[in-house]
Amino acid sequence: MKRWTNSRGLTVLVAVCGLAISFLAAAQAHDHTRGGSRIAFNGSRAYQYAQDIVDCGPRWIGSPGHVCAENFLKKQFAKDNLEEDTFTANTPAGAMTMHNFIVKFPGKKPGIIVLASHYETNYPLRDIHYVGANDGASTSGLLIEMASVLRGRLLDGDSVWLVFFDGEEAIQQWSSADSLYGSRHLAAKWDRDGTLKRIQAFLLVDMIGDKDLDIARDQNSTPWLLDLVDQAAKQEGDSSYFFATTNAIEDDHLPFVQRGVPCADLIDYDYGPHSFMLPDGYHHTAQDTMDKISAHSLTVVGQTVLETIHLLNQK
């Protein structure tokens, strides 16, 4: 769950999750039209990966589904030197062992572009068979498919690192102390070892599988990086899906924002029809299932992320 504040100053609670990035070979002829000489992002395969993760069932920390999702990630990146970042988090439910996963695709430039998401589901919802198709699975699928664009060659620009966060969700109730466990841990670790200084951009994706895609402009993100995403979306012909509304999201980018890393959180918190029974729509409900998300939305975001990376490498 994430807290967001809309442009009218109303604070509400919404859930958030997921993310992905990729890299476009600068050596390739650049064509701003989809289907040209560009590398195309395959949203259908990303959707299938999301399905595979949802098939693991609920993925709250400590559940068999969480182990299943971790094993699925390990299998997908078996040939990529997937790094496991294990740590112990102090939570309202006691000490919990959590696992971030990082896979690095090296580039010719010294900088790093991070594309991140989270893969676990909400712990307080562990009794309602909450599978988080949009909130966690969609963006994990996006990252897995992004790897197919990145692997197998030295990238012409910055390195691209994919990060799968654990412990994004609150264990009891969302607060600065009870949320973002994986990202807080990794940001502190990378601060200590100097990695943060190399990060040119941190792109976070969360809840962007929604069939009715409308990504808000997050006021906690870095304006120039959001402008670059906006430019990328325009060039892809997909600007109608981006930034028609504004809000302020608390998500896995915050520990990096607070340390001065340029960040963009791409999130569509407006998920499903809102009603008296479901004031937050499908968010954090048993209705967050695969039929609510689409390969098309994953294609739109994947392609825009690829173009954003391309633009970052031209800076």
Residues that bind Zn ion (CB under 5 A): 15, 17, 135
**57 vs 106, beta carbon nearer Zn ion:** 57
**135 vs 307, beta carbon nearer Zn ion:** 135
- Distance, in Å, from the CA atom of 265 to the CA atom of 248, rounded to the nearest integer, reads 10
Q: How far out from the chain centre does Cα 180 lie?
A: 13
In this chain, which residue has its C-beta nearest to Zn ion? 15
**25 vs 56, beta carbon nearer Zn ion:** 56
Tokens of 25: 């070979």
- Distance, in Å, from the CA atom of 140 to the CA atom of 133, rounded to the nearest integer, reads 10
Q: Could you list the beta-strand ranges (E) of 48-182.
A: 83-91, 94-105, 112-118, 159-165
Kindly state the smallest distance separating residue 122's Cβ from Zn ion, in Å: 5
Alpha carbon distances (Å) from 100 to 165, 180, 238: 5, 11, 31
Kindly state the smallest distance separating residue 96's Cβ from Zn ion, in Å: 17
Kindly state the smallest distance separating residue 137's Cβ from Zn ion, in Å: 11
**297 vs 313, beta carbon nearer Zn ion:** 297
Q: How far out from the chain centre does Cα 221 lie?
A: 14
Kindly state the smallest distance separating residue 220's Cβ from Zn ion, in Å: 16
- Distance, in Å, from the CA atom of 36 to the CA atom of 15, rounded to the nearest integer, reads 36
Kindly state the smallest distance separating residue 288's Cβ from Zn ion, in Å: 9
Nearest to 14 by CA among 126, 258, 179: 179
**211 vs 259, beta carbon nearer Zn ion:** 211
